[in-house]
Amino acid sequence: MWLPGSLERWCPTLLARCQQQCQLTYRNCLKRNTVMVDVGKWSIFTLLSPQEIASIRKACVFGTSANEALYITQNNEVFVFGLNCSNCLGTGDNQSTIVPKKLEALCGKKISSLGYGSGPHIVLSTEDGEVYAWGHNGYSQLGNGTTNQGITPIQVCTNLLVKKVIQVACGSHHSMALSSDGDVYAWGYNNCGQVGSGSTANQPTPRKVSNCLQTKMVVGIACGQTSSMAVVENGEVYGWGYNGNGQLGLGNNSNQLTPYRVTALQGVCVLQIACGSAHTLALTDEGLLYSWGANTYGQLGTGNKNNQLSPTHIMMEKERVVEIAACHSAHTSAAKTQSGQIYMWGQCRGQSVIIPHLTHFTCTDDVFACFATPAVMWRLLSVEHEDSLTVAESLKKEFDSTETSDLKFRVDGKYIHVHKAVLKIRCEHFRSMFQSYWNEDMKEVIEIDQFSYPVYRAFLEYLYTDSVDLPPEDAIGLLDLATSYCENRLKKLCQHIIKRGITVENAFSLLSAAVRYDAEDLEEFCFKFCVNHLTEVTQTAAFWQMDGPLLKEFIAKASKCGAFKN
């Protein structure tokens, strides 16, 4: 928590500098008469005033021509505007509107997940686990037992009232919901088996997808136009429905009426799945990217336009991938790497891009705003406003500033310039250090020899920015520092970095570090990774260098999990 009064008393030069930067940014914003937000990249939002844009917290653009939009304000009010095909705006009439209309039934519901079909129809879930649907219903894709169009949002009740739904997904004319206990429900159009019921009869209400998913804990779902995919807790992938282009990844092009495991991915642990119109992307826990299915526009990123019936590893020469994106209404693919680079491929404004192309975008959402056809959103977008420079952002600029600093740390012979006031406000360790001699003559330079320069610099910068930018190996050292300084939030950030950087080669080293620094969540994550990749991990040097007690504990725990069964 920032304390402006204390900051003014302790470091007036720094405070004045921050205030000047904030005022300058505010004046520039007034001159532009606009608010810089991500939704501005979708042309439909040019219909809104700057005040309306500034109120947006979440948004989604949908429709066959990207001519409809829904947005949620900071006050959790829900508005819609656009063409209103098939009553997809849920306003109670079939009239288009360029003026946003409020959906009273959804205001205050805290929408967390949203999907849309080709009709279009809309399905969403709330933080409380409720599901609402409206719009086109020719195939019972609203799940209300009828084929009457839904002109307003209605809660989907059958089989879902006793469930807490955490994710929804829509194909062209079918819908799916994932509950917090790992069950999948599907309903709507079923001409190719995309509902997973074992038949091709349309499903008028939500039905649990069972068969080989019966005993599985599903953690993620996605829909192509007429296909369905699911990822389970152990990283296995299952697909069902239309398979004419190989989008199920089963090695053939036969439709599947019930879930079928993608056995070609055996040996890898998939974290995220994404479906385009007729192609599929999968991201593993090692940051590897696989694609399969239709490839008319190069949407598989394989360097050609040949369909693939089985998963193919792509972007092998690139760095670790941390996010993938596709949408059932488009033939475009996108991915984000660990360093934040954004790649796109497939149908990009009419062009066929057959290999992943590095862009200047900052998020995968930008790819769909600028290059997808139609220019819809692939997910419910969280909006970040950039209308002014806050005090925190101004302080970020002053980190390691020789002009305003009043204290230096020397680490490995290098200096880091900081402000005593900021350190005292942000960190209990420094507050205690400075307390005894705050009013006395204090050293202008403090020597640090317990930690490396990259680690200590990252720690001090964290106190200014609340963020950390380190490779996983250095994050272990920062985790040690955070433990020593009792910085619990920093410990969580370090654990997050280590998780995203785990590989077969460093998995046991990271597991050892997690145990050493009492990071229970990280320890469990590393343990599961090691079990999922047991054969490869046990052949690494880190495995054989592990100390005896820890090795024995790992083997015992892995044995209980059935890791050594044939």
C-alpha span between 5 and 551 (Å, rounded): 53
Percent of the chain with pLDDT over 70: 91
How confident is the model at residue 376, as a pLDDT? 97
The three-class DSSP label of residue 23 is helix
Model confidence at 19, pLDDT cuts 50, 70, 90, reads: very low
Q: Say what the pLDDT of residue 69 is.
A: 98
Name the CATH superfamily, with its identifier, for domain 396-561. Answer: Potassium Channel Kv1.1; Chain A (3.30.710.10)
Output the CA–CA distances (angstroms, integers) from residue 449 to 414, 453, 456, 565, in the order listed: 12, 9, 10, 48
Structure tokens at 197: 């019921």
pLDDT of 545 reads 83
> What is the reported pLDDT for 385?
60
* pLDDT at position 17: 54
Distances (CA, A) of 485 to 426, 429, 476, 477, 547: 12, 6, 14, 12, 26
Range in 38-42, 53-57, 65-69, 105-109 with the lowest mean pLDDT: 38-42
**The pLDDT of residue 444:** 82
Answer whether residue 147 shows pLDDT above 50.
Answer: yes
Residue 352: count other Cβ atoms within 10 Å of its Cβ: 15
Distance, in Å, from the CA atom of 294 to the CA atom of 225, rounded to the nearest integer, reads: 12
Q: Give the pLDDT band (50/70/90) at residue 34.
A: very low
* pLDDT band at residue 149 under the 50/70/90 scheme: very high
Please give the backbone phi and psi of residue 485, each rounded to the nearest 5 degrees, phi first.
-90, 5
The per-residue pLDDT for 10 is 44
Query: What is the token pair recorded at 30?
Result: 């007034």
Of 32-36, 89-93, 116-120, 424-428, the one with minimum mean pLDDT is: 32-36
What would the mean pLDDT of 244-267 be, rounded to a whole number? 97
Query: In terms of C-beta distances under 8 Å and separation of at least 24 residues, what long-range contacts does 99-107 make, across chains too?
Result: 100/48, 100/52, 100/71, 102/77, 102/78, 103/70, 103/78, 103/79, 103/152, 103/153, 105/132, 105/152, 105/153, 106/78, 106/132, 106/153, 107/76, 107/77, 107/78
Whole-angstrom distance, CA of residue 356 vs CA of residue 371? 14
**pLDDT tens-place string over residues 541-557:** 888 888 888 888 998 99
pLDDT confidence of residue 77:
98
- Domain limits of the chain? 34-170, 211-383, 396-561
Tell me the pLDDT tens digit for each residue of 520-546. 888 999 999 999 999 999 899 888 888
Question: CATH says 34-170 is which class?
Answer: mainly beta
pLDDT at 318 over 90: no
**66-70, 119-123, 146-150, 499-503, range with the lowest pLDDT:** 499-503
Give the model confidence (pLDDT) of 351-362 as tens digits.
999 999 999 999
pLDDT in tens, 416-451: 999 999 999 999 999 988 876 655 556 789 999 999
Measure Cα distances from 226 to 194, 200, 312 in Å: 6, 12, 21
Return the top range by mean pLDDT from 31-45, 296-310, 427-441: 296-310
Q: Please determine, for residue 23, whether its predicted confidence score (pLDDT) is greater than 60.
A: no
DSSP 41-72: GSGGGGGS-HHHHHTEEEEEEESTTS-EEEEE
- pLDDT on residue 205: 98
Question: Across 12-21, 152-161, 445-454, 498-507, which has the greatest mean pLDDT?
Answer: 152-161
Chain-centroid distance, C-alpha 206 = 27
Top-tier CATH class for 211-383: mainly beta
For all residues of the chain together, what is the average pLDDT? 90
Instruction: Report whether pLDDT(26) > 60.
Output: no
Same fold, 34-170 and 211-383: yes
- Its pTM stands at 0.74
Least confidently predicted of 17-31, 40-54, 356-370, 478-492: 17-31
pLDDT tens across 187-206, in order?
Answer: 999 999 999 999 999 999 99
pLDDT beyond 80 at 162:
yes
- In angstroms, rounded to a whole number, what is the distance separating the alpha carbons of residues 566 and 558? 14
d(CA 515, CA 506): 14
96: pLDDT strictly greater than 70? yes
Q: Which amino acid appears at position 148 of this protein?
A: N
Find the mean pLDDT for residues 205-228: 96
For 362, phi then psi, to 5°, come to -110, -10
* pLDDT at residue 215 tops 90: yes
Predicted local confidence at residue 543, as pLDDT: 87
Q: Work out the average pLDDT over 70-80.
A: 97
CB 333 within 8 A of CB 299: yes
pLDDT at position 9: 47
Q: How confident is the model at residue 28 (pLDDT cuts 50, 70, 90)?
A: very low
pLDDT over 70 (residue 185)? yes
The whole-number pLDDT of residue 51 equals 92
pLDDT above 60: residue 30: no
pLDDT of residue 12: 54
Q: How confident is the model at residue 13 (pLDDT cuts 50, 70, 90)?
A: low
What is the pLDDT at residue 14?
52
Flag the least confident range among 167-171, 225-229, 508-512.
Answer: 508-512
